[in-house]
């Protein structure tokens, strides 16, 4: 019998932890850009027209550079990452001033819960390339690149909604030249999001072709 990988929590423990975090998040105000009418009725705003609800979980200022984007640097790309850590541990790492790295957003696998760790106006240290950092938004996805079970339907759908909203805000084309993986950043030694990340599906969702049934 194959021994469980010690770096990964058991699925039951993962889901239990997600439920606890969801309950905790309910006590924390969520920032949302949906219209008042849509929020009042519980309906989604048109896909890409607004940001999904997100929880503010700030990274240490030692893990990003304060800036005034897009005035200071034009935002032209979205970089897709996979954490190689649990959602909770990723947030702890971003809050640690010794870590020297953070992304703007982190999504949880089980339920797509979204944390924002760095304001988009600031330059998050997520890509390992200063030029790309200044011109991009980084989105981390809970999971491991060699285990596609972490890439849940909800994770794809919620992430695509966020990416579409970012693209709309900064007039970024919704294509593979502007929505890239960490592995595609010049000089990076990372391989995420890896071979199991479903790019055709993700781009279809980002472009709004099936978001109403996916969310």
Q: Which residues are catalytic?
A: 140
Here the tokens at position 167 are 């693209």
- Return the HEC string of the chain: CCCCCCCCCCHHHHHHHHHHHHHHHHCCCEECCCCHHHHHHCCCCCCCCCCCCEEECCCCHHHEECCCCCCCCCCCEEEEEECCECHHHHHHHHHCCCCCCCCCEEECCCCCCEEECCCCCCEECCCCCHHHHHCEEEEEECEECCEHHHCCHHHHHHHHHHHHHHHHHHCCCCCCCCEEEHHHCCCCCCCCCCCCCCHHHHHHHHCCCCHHHHC
Q: How far is CA 105 from CA 20, 80, 183, 209, in A?
A: 20, 10, 18, 24
Given a contact cutoff of 8 angstroms between Cβ atoms, the answer to whether 45 and 38 are in contact is yes
> 143 near 106, Cβ under 8 Å?
no
């Amino acid at each position: 019998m194959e021994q469980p990988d010690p770096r990964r929590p058991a699925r039951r423990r993962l889901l239990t932890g997600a439920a606890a975090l969801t309950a905790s998040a309910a006590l924390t105000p969520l920032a949302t850009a949906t219209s008042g009418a849509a929020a009042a009725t519980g309906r989604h705003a048109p896909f890409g027209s607004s940001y999904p609800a997100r929880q503010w979980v700030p990274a240490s200022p030692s893990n990003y550079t304060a800036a005034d984007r897009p005035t200071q640097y034009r935002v032209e790309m979205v970089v897709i990452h996979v954490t190689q850590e649990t959602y909770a541990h990723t947030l702890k790492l971003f809050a640690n001033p010794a870590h020297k790295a953070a992304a703007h957003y982190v999504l949880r696998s089980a339920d797509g819960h979204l944390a924002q760790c760095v304001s988009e106006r600031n330059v998050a240290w997520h890509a390992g390339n200063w030029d790309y950092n200044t011109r991009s938004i980084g989105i981390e996805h809970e999971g491991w690149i060699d285990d596609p079970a972490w890439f849940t339907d909800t994770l794809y759908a919620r992430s695509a909604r966020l990416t579409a909203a970012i693209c709309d805000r900064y007039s970024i084309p919704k294509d593979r030249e502007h929505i890239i993986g960490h592995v595609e950043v010049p000089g990076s030694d990372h391989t995420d999001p890896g071979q199991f990340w479903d790019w055709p599906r993700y781009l279809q969702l980002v472009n709004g072709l099936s978001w109403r049934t996916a969310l």
